A = this chain, B = another copy of it.
């Protein structure tokens, strides 16, 4: 039942050079500690030598600097990327919905491509379009008129609400809600909240992955938009009309307020909060738990709440710890100055 590849097939797939027996049969990828005798493992540099010496793997992916190792090797300039690509070959879930299950609900007018699987007790509203090879796991919910591209995975308990658009090869993990109403209210003269209907959509482009229990609100008007290749961790909140550029990484529990634009190749670390209506430039990086209250320039690194340039923040945190000492020094200096004053006046 185990999928397997020859070492030379893997070398070919990941673009690596072989050292040693190219006909070894490999059944999986694992860490140096856990790898079995028929598995492939990987190491990035010499710090892993102690683990390598105890490793049972059949072969290793290593950088050229470790070419001397006494192991069958796949040598790659980017061992981590090579490992990811090799692991992908072995990783297909053994439990994929492979047909439209008889207990699933599929609304009228929905069109399913070839090799679409809809699991038990899943729900597709009317007029959905699902591209070829896409799998909607049991218990997932798609509303009316949802469009999903090819080869997507919609995990159990994920919800994609009416009219949202999902690209190709998108992965949406369990419990995530795409297309809930944005938090939009007008206050009347008595301070009561009047709901502003949220009539826009969410658009998610190709190769995006969204973690578990995230919330991505539909736009008030227009669209909330996650662009190609961006990866979002768990429990992230993305408010209405936010736009996130390509290949960004949004770590767990981040919250982004309405209408903010995040550039491409941006990293927002865990638990960051971003206010609405600002811009975070391409390649910017925001440190964990930061509170971003103003626009961030392309390439800038910021940290802290409120966020400031990362280098300043580091200095500040060091100085913060020294605050009690600072106060003490000031106190002593005051006394010295008093003594000096006394000395002078006594003259």
Contact = CB atoms under 8 A, between A and B. Distances in A.
Contacts of A326: 326-327, 330
A68 to B, nearest CB: 24
Contacts of A194: 81, 84-85
Interface string A177-220: 10011011111110111111101000000000101111101001
A312 B319 CA distance: 13
Contact of A159 (B174, B265, B288, B337): B174
A223 B123 CA distance: 32
A85 B192 CA distance: 13
Interface of A: 28-31, 33-34, 78, 80-81, 83-85, 87-88, 90-91, 93-95, 101, 103, 105, 119-121, 123, 125-126, 138-139, 141, 143-145, 155-157, 159, 161-162, 171, 173-177, 180-181, 183-189, 191-197, 199, 209, 211-215, 217, 220-222, 229, 231, 233-235, 237, 239, 247, 249, 251-253, 255, 257, 265, 270-271, 273, 275, 288-289, 291, 293, 305-306, 308, 312, 315-317, 319-324, 326-327, 329-330, 333-334, 336-337, 340-341, 343-344, 347
A243 to B, nearest CB: 13
A123 to B, nearest CB: 5
- Which 3 pairs across A and B sit closest by C-beta, in order of nearness? A91-B197, A95-B144, A180-B212
Nearest to A332: B334
A83 B196 contact: yes
A88 B188 CA distance: 15
22 contacts: A31-B222, A84-B185, A84-B195, A94-B144, A95-B126, A103-B103, A105-B138, A125-B138, A141-B174, A157-B159, A180-B212, A183-B231, A192-B229, A212-B217, A233-B237, A235-B255, A253-B253, A306-B317, A333-B334, A337-B337, A340-B341, A343-B344
Given A157-B157, A199-B28, A270-B273, A105 B121 contact: yes
A289 B347 CA distance: 57
Given A31-B221, A315-B324, A336-B341, 16 more contacts: A90-B199, A105-B121, A141-B157, A157-B177, A159-B174, A171-B181, A173-B181, A174-B177, A191-B247, A192-B229, A237-B252, A239-B252, A308-B321, A330-B333, A340-B340, A340-B344
